[in-house]
Amino acid sequence: MKSLILAGGSGTRLFPLSRKQFPKQFIKIIKNTSLFQKTIQRALHFSKPDEIYIVTNKDHYFLVKDQLGEINADAKIIVEPAAKNTLPAIYLGIREIVKDSGRSTVAIFPSDHLVTMSTSMTEAFSDAEPLAEKYLIIFGVKPTSPHTGYGYIKPGKKIGSGFRVAEFVEKPDHNTAQKYVSKGYFWNSGIFLVGSDLFFAECRRYAKDVVAAFDQPPKEAYDLEEVYGRVPSISIDYGIMEKTTKAVVIPLATAWSDVGNFNAIYSVLEKNDDQNAIIGKHVGINSTDNLIISERLVTTADIHDMTIIETMDAILVCPRSSGEKVKEIVRILSAEKDDRVNRHTTVHRPWGSYTILEDGGTFRIKRVVVRPQHRLSLQMHHHRSEHWVVISGTAKVTIGNQEYLVKQGESTFVPVKVKHRLENPDTLPLEIIEVQMGDPLTEDDITRYDDDFDRIG
């Protein structure tokens, strides 16, 4: 069995924890492990490392690589040139799997859900696998409440260990959700098991425009940018599953959540004696039933049923019951072109990361971390100079025609419009403080001349 993990998207429902360039699947919510990493670990129960494929986008490619490295996992990463919803991503992923291995049975996992790996889940997949050549399998979770944020599946005629799908229904209101629960409907988990031959056949029947976009001969060599310029943005639910007559739902008897809001995070985190769910340091007096996630000390008095989220550049405070309104906050910030919607103060790069410590308009202070045996591009800036102070490790620097080592406690200066490069030749991380001065100070003020990560141009 092959595994296909969907790790694209740009969710902001958990702002300020999540940003467009750091969506919820990469947030380390559970015991310093991200939902993406948990999905990889779950997929390893069904597939060998070289049988796991990940579809993501260029903004998240190196973030995916970093998080794979943190759990000593490996997988094939497929990069989409644009986000076109789940059906094109799945089509692309299964196309790559078949190219590598021929006809295959493929498990499809969202990377932003929290699913408890259990014996019942293994059994559900074992029951589903023999059906996958004849049916498109979707796993349904037995509801624990009349949740209005999930899609539902109405089961029909019994088939094997599952049921023919009688109907897919969208997110209902509370009264309708109660009826669905009482009638034995399932939550739509977004987890699938499909045979590649049947999947492509149903795409040819119901999603001809998707197939045509991938199969139409390009002008020259196969150009994925060109393909994605033609392919429509469409979900697998709308494009295939709601139309096919070959959908079967298999019950999945395990804990599942799409972790779609802060209330969902509260429900899955461990609680202290005051029923507070805490990530970080909290001191409270008469404070109960709160979700508090912070990088700094949070103190509360007489606070109940609240969500308090603090990052280096933003704070969210609201009743736990108002978590869905975060989307409206993000909409307002997006309309104001506030870049905090897009990125954290810590930004991941293929060579490591940087954190903005201070931004003063004409000066900016960063903490830069370069991974062992990695280097930045050979580059030049038109509008800013840079001063580097090594705080940990040893830096190999190139400035103009000079190349030399800068050790802990030492510093060097990069003038404006001078080619330069920072490299970590060591086996331990390199950390520097970078002070930029100039006007304007923008991240796109960079001309690259040589780059290990093909980012020139």
Summarised one tens digit per residue, pLDDT across range 424-444 is 999 999 999 999 999 999 888
Assigned token pair, 414: 């990069």
Q: Which residues pair with 257 in a beta bridge?
A: 114
Query: Which domain range does residue 189 map to?
Result: 2-257
User: What's the full length of the chain, in residues?
Assistant: 457
Count CB-CB contacts under 10 A for residue 148: 14
Count CB-CB contacts under 10 A for residue 334: 13
55 and 80 Cβ atoms separated by less than 8 Å? yes
Residue 341 lies in a domain: no
Q: Which residue is associated with the tokens 């980012």? A: 455
Same domain assignment for residues 84 and 180: yes
Domains: count for the chain: 3
Same domain assignment for residues 236 and 276: no
By C-alpha distance, which of 6, 77, 75, 64 is closest to 34?
Answer: 64
Same domain assignment for residues 318 and 353: no
Same domain assignment for residues 148 and 296: no
Same domain assignment for residues 246 and 394: no
Helix (H) or strand (E) holding 123: helix 119-128
- In this prediction, residue 107 carries a pLDDT of 98
Same domain assignment for residues 246 and 284: no
Same domain assignment for residues 381 and 299: no
Residue 338 lies in a domain: no
CATH number of domain containing 390: 2.60.120.10
Sign of the Cα pseudo-torsion (157, 163, 166, 171, in order): positive
Q: Which residue is associated with the tokens 């102070």? A: 389
How many CA atoms within 13 Å lie on the side-chain side of 212? 7
Same domain assignment for residues 165 and 295: no
- CA atoms of 180 and 198, how far apart (whole Å): 30
Residue 396 lies in a domain: yes
- CA atoms of 113 and 212, how far apart (whole Å): 31
In tens digits, the chain (457 residues) has pLDDT values of 999 999 987 767 899 999 988 999 999 988 889 999 999 999 999 999 999 999 999 889 888 988 998 999 999 999 999 999 999 999 999 999 999 999 999 999 999 999 988 899 999 999 999 999 999 999 999 999 998 889 999 999 999 999 999 999 988 999 999 999 999 999 999 999 999 999 999 999 999 999 999 987 655 556 888 899 999 999 999 999 999 999 999 999 998 998 888 998 999 899 999 999 999 999 999 999 999 999 899 999 999 999 999 999 999 999 999 988 999 999 999 999 998 998 888 888 889 999 999 988 899 999 999 999 999 999 999 999 999 999 999 999 999 999 999 999 999 999 999 999 999 999 999 999 999 999 999 888 999 999 998 888 6
Same domain assignment for residues 199 and 74: yes
Same domain assignment for residues 167 and 29: yes
pTM (2 decimals)?
A: 0.88
Residue 239 lies in a domain: yes
- CA atoms of 121 and 141, how far apart (whole Å): 11
Residues 6 or more apart whose Cβ sits within 8 Å of residue 119: none
Residue 419 lies in a domain: yes
Same domain assignment for residues 378 and 302: no
Residue 267 lies in a domain: no
